[in-house]
């Protein structure tokens, strides 16, 4: 089940169960103060709007910083007006014209950074992660903003599967801003995704000390500590795309790891051919006995993707084929994840099941024979993680698989690869309609009609 909430503070960053001060105009003699900061997603880093650095605050050293020609002031005001109106490109032009007058003006540099950051945030909110990344790089290059611009960039890098780049960005930010709660939270998450749980604990402990009233942080820290204890004796194995973590005392597991890693690589090759995607970083895979797996996943599931692939291993030899299917399912989530939060749940799960090899006919039969209420279009797009009824979840999985297979039958496999290529640059609805010729809701209605007809 694809989890769309972020960073496991409210729910999870990644997802993948498987069944098997805009201020008034400044006085003419002073340059207007800085624009409000963009928001590091709260569930990701708890940032909120950043504070103006002390040297730029009104009443401090601001007047010396903002003094400049009338032309400088005018460009800055025009930039802020454009930013207020959401005309980000115009705002960038005005701030850059101001910097042509005075290249090192700190307020204008901060405004430019925050403009790029807000623009990037808007692209994230619209699901265009690949458009957001270059904007957030410009923001971080223009002004550090107390570590907030680096945190936003790192968030987008994490969200698109670039964990190693995110970790480098955050490490540099924390050298300059060791008290940045945003950077600390994200650095802890990046460390945990690389299996560096001791480092994740240390980083999050620092964040908790800065925000002692945050229950979400405390809960996340407890989770890191429990996982660190759980994997205290773990060993690792590496292949091209994967790093496996496992307990060598689990009977038969150490001997099975080389074969498991071959199966993981084979699963990845199948998915890469189908989707034309490949995660940029090596994926961490936790091979757990069932008891440990059930601590972090429903006991009815056979796999989970939460930035790492978690799989319960109890009898490798007898379940090798089933495990290979789970690997294809969870790796599909990992590959789609790099597009950012733009793939609706039904397509995430439909493609994962299709690549897993789940029976479409069985799912359709189950829906028809059991008289299940077909999930609503709204429900299919949204988050399934809060659904409590197993029958409701099963029905959603079956329907998502049926709809995805129906698209495959009518439009071919290339339609999926074309759609995926467009996502990250264009929001889902626009990309879908451009490829299939109709809004997805209309095609969904056609599928329902075909599905419900005798």
Question: Which pLDDT score, from 0 to 100, does residue 53 have?
Answer: 36
Q: Taking the domain 235-337, which CATH number applies? A: 3.40.30.160
Yes or no: domain 31-230 corresponds to CATH 1.10.10.10: no
Q: Is 453 exposed, middle or buried (0-12, 13-18, 19+ CB in 10 A)?
A: exposed
Characterize the bridge pairing of strands 309-312 and 303-305.
antiparallel
Question: Which pLDDT score, from 0 to 100, does residue 453 have?
Answer: 58
Question: Which pLDDT score, from 0 to 100, does residue 12 have?
Answer: 32
- The model scores a pTM over 0.75: no
- For the chain, the domains span 31-230, 235-337, 345-452
The segment with the largest mean pLDDT, out of 110-124, 368-382, 392-406, is: 110-124
Question: Which pLDDT score, from 0 to 100, does residue 100 have?
Answer: 93
Q: How confident is the model at residue 382 (pLDDT cuts 50, 70, 90)?
A: confident
Over the stretch 73-131, which tens digit does the pLDDT of each residue have?
Answer: 999 999 999 999 999 999 999 999 999 999 999 999 999 999 999 999 998 887 788 88
Q: How far apart are alpha carbons 77 and 221 in whole angstroms? A: 44
Question: Which pLDDT score, from 0 to 100, does residue 203 have?
Answer: 95
Residue with tokens 């698109």: 160
Share the mean pLDDT of the chain. Answer: 80
Tokens of 357: 């090899």
Question: Which pLDDT score, from 0 to 100, does residue 60 have?
Answer: 31
Lowest mean pLDDT among 150-154, 189-193, 297-301, 450-454: 450-454
Q: How far apart are alpha carbons 377 and 216 in whole angstroms? A: 31
Over the stretch 18-32, which tens digit does the pLDDT of each residue have?
Answer: 333 222 233 333 344
Over the stretch 244-286, which tens digit does the pLDDT of each residue have?
Answer: 999 888 888 888 899 999 999 999 999 998 888 877 788 999 9
* Contacts (Cβ under 8 Å, ≥6 apart) of 94: 75, 76, 78, 79, 82
Q: Which of 47, 46, 49 is nearest to 38 (CA)?
A: 49
Percent of the chain with pLDDT over 70: 81
Q: Cα Rg for the chain, rounded, in angstroms?
A: 24
Q: How confident is the model at residue 433 (pLDDT cuts 50, 70, 90)?
A: very high
């Amino acid at each position: 089940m694809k989890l769309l909430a972020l960073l496991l503070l409210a729910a999870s960053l990644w997802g993948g169960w498987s069944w098997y001060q805009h201020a008034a105009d400044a006085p003419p003699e002073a340059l207007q103060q800085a624009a409000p900061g963009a928001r590091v997603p709260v569930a990701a880093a708890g940032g909120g709007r950043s504070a103006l650095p002390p040297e730029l605050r009104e009443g401090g050293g601001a007047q010396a910083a903002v003094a400049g020609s009338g032309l400088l002031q005018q460009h800055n005001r025009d930039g802020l007006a454009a930013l207020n109106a959401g005309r980000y490109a115009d705002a960038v032009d005005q701030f850059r014209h101001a910097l042509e007058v005075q290249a090192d003006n700190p307020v204008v540099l901060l405004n430019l950074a925050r403009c790029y950051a807000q623009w990037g945030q808007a692209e994230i909110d619209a699901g265009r992660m690949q458009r957001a990344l270059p904007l957030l790089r410009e923001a971080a290059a223009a002004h550090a903003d107390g570590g907030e611009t680096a945190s936003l960039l790192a968030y987008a890098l994490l969200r698109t599967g670039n964990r190693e780049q995110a970790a480098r960005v955050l490490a540099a930010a924390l050298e300059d801003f060791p008290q940045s709660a945003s950077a600390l939270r994200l650095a802890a998450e990046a460390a945990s995704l690389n299996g560096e749980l001791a480092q994740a604990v240390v980083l999050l402990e620092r964040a908790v000390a800065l925000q002692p009233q945050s229950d979400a942080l405390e809960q996340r820290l407890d989770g890191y500590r429990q996982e660190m204890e759980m994997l205290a004796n773990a060993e690792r194995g590496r292949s091209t795309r994967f790093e496996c973590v496992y307990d060598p005392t689990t009977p038969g597991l150490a001997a099975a790891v080389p074969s498991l890693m071959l199966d993981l690589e084979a699963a990845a090759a199948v998915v890469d051919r189908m989707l034309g995607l490949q995660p940029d970083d090596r994926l961490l895979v936790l091979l757990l006995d069932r008891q440990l797996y059930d601590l972090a996943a429903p006991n009815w599931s056979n796999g989970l993707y939460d930035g790492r692939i978690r799989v319960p291993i109890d009898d490798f030899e007898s379940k090798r084929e089933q495990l290979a299917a789970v690997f294809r399912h969870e790796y599909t989530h990992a590959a789609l994840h790099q597009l950012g939060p733009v793939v609706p749940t039904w397509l995430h799960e439909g493609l994962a099941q299709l690549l897993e090899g789940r029976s479409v006919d069985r799912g359709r039969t189950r829906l028809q024979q059991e008289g299940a209420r077909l999930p609503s279009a709204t429900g299919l797009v949204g988050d399934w993680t809060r659904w409590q009824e197993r029958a409701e979840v099963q029905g959603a999985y079956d329907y998502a698989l049926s709809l995805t297979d129906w698209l495959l039958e009518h439009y071919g496999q290339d339609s999926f690869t074309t759609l995926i290529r467009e996502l990250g640059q264009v929001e889902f609805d626009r990309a879908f309609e451009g490829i299939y010729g109709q809004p997805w809701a209309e095609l969904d209605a056609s599928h329902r009609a075909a599905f419900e007809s005798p």
